[in-house]
Amino acid sequence: MVVLGTCAAWPLITAAARDGRPEGMLLAVLAVAAGYAAGRIGGALLPVAAPCAGALAGAGITAWVPHLAPGPQITAPLGHAGATTAMVILSAGAASCAAWAASGPAVRSAMRLLAAGIAVTAAVLGSVTGCVAASVVLAVSLAAGRIRRRGAVLAGLGVIAAGAAGLMWAVAGSAVPEGLAASLEGRLTPQRVALWHDALDLARAHAGLGVGPGRFGELSAASLGSPLSDGKPHSAPLQLAAEQGVVGVLLLTAAFGWLLYALWRSPRPTPVVLTAAAALTALAVVVTVGNALSFTAVAAGTGYLAGVATSRPFALDTARRAGEVQGGGSR
């Protein structure tokens, strides 16, 4: 609550200082908080049905992602591919969590088939990245059944997310070898890399408070020069750095770090925890190179999956209390 509260308060401070528009950031924080609360409640009451319902809802919404955000419906090169990929990742992760939460082999197999079906659906919809990402999440989930200590894996996932952010920052600062830079620019599109350069320049010039929430599009030459731009740099860390300064980036890092810590302390079985962690890490990589969190459905889905994976099912408390009663009776 402290992290989310600070994430909501800091945009208001920077907006007041820079005449910004904090509504988008506030909506994202509200969506994450609401999704997290719903996930905690659903995971406690219905450990299998809650993630299954989330997976089905996410799969159904995926085809309608372009209609979930206000403003112009952008096509290539920036498009809604990141949001589609994010929804596919969250849906596959939720289905895989439901599989590990199920006790019966039939239900477990059905949930894994659902996760595989989500990956196939992504391919049918033309999201190759989403198909690959969902397949990776499913593969990690299957391997998670053999892992007993979650700490090392969670730390490794944190390193992966940090590495993706570091590579993005290096590309924005033109600090990668020329050959690698050309290859990455070809995949990311020159327009996106130009937006990153502008965001980094703004972050360096306004490191303290940033230029103000929602003002990147007004000050970025690459954004103003493109009719397809939506006014965002298509990278959550760079957007926060440009619009909210160093503190904004630190708050984003703190939120992800707290999430890994909460998963480490979660009472849910290790396979459930690692499956959710893999999906959320894949999402973090997508968010690093795209604007997926600008879609309310993605922000809410992120909180929902995190809430399900960190919830304490009532069945666990009931079993623990029964054991205490029996133990007290035997004494």
Residue 112 counted as domain residue? yes
Asked whether the whole model's pTM tops 0.85, one would answer yes
CA distance 158 to 80: 26
DSSP category for residue 293 = G
pLDDT at 318: 59
Q: Is the dihedral of CA 257, 197, 233, 18 positive or negative?
A: positive
Residue 173 counted as domain residue? yes
3-state secondary structure 88-129: HHHHHHHHHHHHHHCCCHHHHHHHHHHHHHHHHHHHHCCCHH
CA distance 44 to 315: 8
Residue 24 counted as domain residue? yes
Residue 319 counted as domain residue? no
Are 237 and 252 spatial neighbours (Cβ–Cβ below 8 Å)?
A: yes
Q: For 20-57, what is each residue's pLDDT tens digit?
A: 999 999 999 999 999 999 999 999 999 999 999 999 99
Hey, what's the torsion of the CAs at 80, 304, 4, 220, to 10 degrees? 0
CA distance 33 to 35: 5
Are 89 and 283 spatial neighbours (Cβ–Cβ below 8 Å)?
A: yes
Q: For 141-184, what is each residue's pLDDT tens digit?
A: 999 999 988 999 999 999 999 999 999 999 999 898 888 888 88
DSSP category for residue 168 = H
* Collapsed DSSP state (helix, strand, coil) of residue 175: coil
First to last CA, the chain: 41
Residue 320 counted as domain residue? no
What six digits make up the tokens of 233?
């740099």
What six digits make up the tokens of 193?
């890399």
Closest listed residue to residue 98, CA positions, set 109, 87, 83: 109
Residue 251 counted as domain residue? yes
When divided into structural domains, the chain yields a total of 1
Residue 265 counted as domain residue? yes
CA distance 54 to 41: 13
Q: For 107-140, what is each residue's pLDDT tens digit?
A: 999 999 999 999 999 898 888 899 999 999 999 9
Domain range for residue 112? 2-11+18-311
Residue 146 counted as domain residue? yes
